[in-house]
Structures are given as structure tokens and as C-alpha cells.
A = this chain, B = another copy of it.
């Protein structure tokens, strides 16, 4: 509907656009088309082409590109962090499929790993949420494996993971220990433009059970993520190394890198076994 107002280039793949704009409201879509028309005008092109639409979509979803000067070490760090997210998104069976990875800073982030949900989901299964957790923690785990240390760069990931697990335990009854009970805490209300914390409606002892479950689930997922990533360290390094150069990689490019890394590993294993014939 929204695309009727502007001339579209032949390369525009509306279905691909739709996939990347799952969850967009009508207003969001109108905004997307306007932004694309604007960019087209600025670049003195006559038709809105696929690349312009993607640019417009990224600006809306991820924020404007930001010029940040990173040292080589920090760039490498960001590349491995994003590669960690991407690898887990590619490996975990229920994770939303990988779309793109970039280390071009945008908005508040130094890098972004994008996934596209296969469909507009309404009810989320526990198993799906656990795989999403694995992807979120993948960045931190990659730092650990490669640099033997963690950084402040995972702050937003930790916050997101904790919030999700808290909802699993407190609102969705996904902890067997706490059962099908709903626990309310820290709901925030807007009062004259600010948030206000609320008294929890449960006891200190329950609060401790909740904390223990959150900690248990997160550390369990972190452990499994580390286990999986170590098995696939070749892929991780291949992706991060390429990412430092290319800065942005699409899903199909990432897949090639991973498959090549697999092939490499197998051949090097063969070599290895050639030297250890018994």
C-alpha cells in the first residue's frame, strides 16, 4: 500500500522488505517510505531502489550511523563480540534466523547482530526463549574464549538477558521451582514523567528463590553457550576476522564463511589424523 506513492526500481524485493520490517505499524511503514524517498532525492536518483530502502529501514530500526574512532584492539573486540552473537544465532535450532552483522557504530551500539523472526510470534515457547538467551550471551562468551576476560561492552546484553529470565520465572511460570505463580515487582508507573518502583508483593524468601532461579538459568545457558562456541571456535574466528575487514556481512556471506571454516577444520583434522595414523 505504502509503496504506491513512490516509483520503485526493478530490484526492489517487497517480500524481503516485509521480512525485515516484521512488527512495523502502518505509521512505521509510511515513515520508511518517506525516509527512502528523501534519501533517493538526496542522491539524485529517480527511483527508490533496494539499497535505499534498506538504508532507510536501518536508520529507523538501529538509529543513524555514528562516527566513532575505535583503536584496532577495540575494533577486534567488537568484531568478536558480534561474531559471538551471530554464531549462536546460526547454531541454535530455535533461534530466529541470522540476517546481518555489522561493526559500524549506530545509535548507542558499537556493533549490531540482526535476526529476522520467521513469523510474527504471539506465544513464545520456553525452548525458544532459552535459545534467544544463548544468542544474547554469545557476545560475552566470545570475549571470554578469545581474550580470557570480559568487558563493560556486554552491559546491555546482561540487562536484556536478566529481564527476560526474570519474566520467565515471575510472569510465565517457566521455573519448576517457583511454579505457575505470578510474582509482581518493580512495575513502573509514569508519574509526572518518571518511573516509580513498587513494593514486591511477595516475601523475602520468595525473592531469594527468584534470584537463585535467575542466576541458575543464566549461568546454565552461559555454560552451554561456552561449550558450543568452543566446539565451533574455528567459525567464530573466521567470522570475526572477516568482519574486521568487511565491517558488515549479510546472512549468505556469513553462511559461506561458516561452511568454509567447517571444511578447513575437517581437512586439518584429516591432516592431523594423517600424522597420527594409529
Contact = CB atoms under 8 A, between A and B. Distances in A.
A123 B77 contact: yes
A161 B180 contact: yes
Nearest to A177: B215
Contact of A203 (B68, B137, B173, B208): B208
A153 B122 contact: yes
B149 A126 contact: yes
Contacts of A174: 150
Majority secondary structure of chain A interface residues (helix, strand, loop or mixed): mixed
Contact of A162 (B162, B182, B205, B207): B182
Protomer copies: 6
Contact of A198 (B158, B189, B199, B222): B199
Contacts of A172: 150-152, 154-155, 158
B203 A207 contact: yes
Interface in A191-209: 191-192, 194-208
Interface of A: 68-71, 74, 77-78, 110, 119-127, 129, 137, 140, 147, 149-155, 158-159, 161-163, 166-167, 171-174, 178-183, 185-186, 189-192, 194-208, 210-211, 214-215, 218-219, 222
Q: Which 10 residue pairs across A and B have the least CB separation, nearest first?
A: A203-B207, A123-B153, A197-B199, A123-B151, A203-B208, A162-B182, A158-B182, A159-B182, A197-B198, A205-B208
Given A199-B200, A204-B204, 12 more contacts: A69-B120, A71-B119, A126-B149, A126-B150, A150-B174, A158-B180, A179-B222, A194-B196, A203-B204, A205-B211, A206-B208, A206-B211
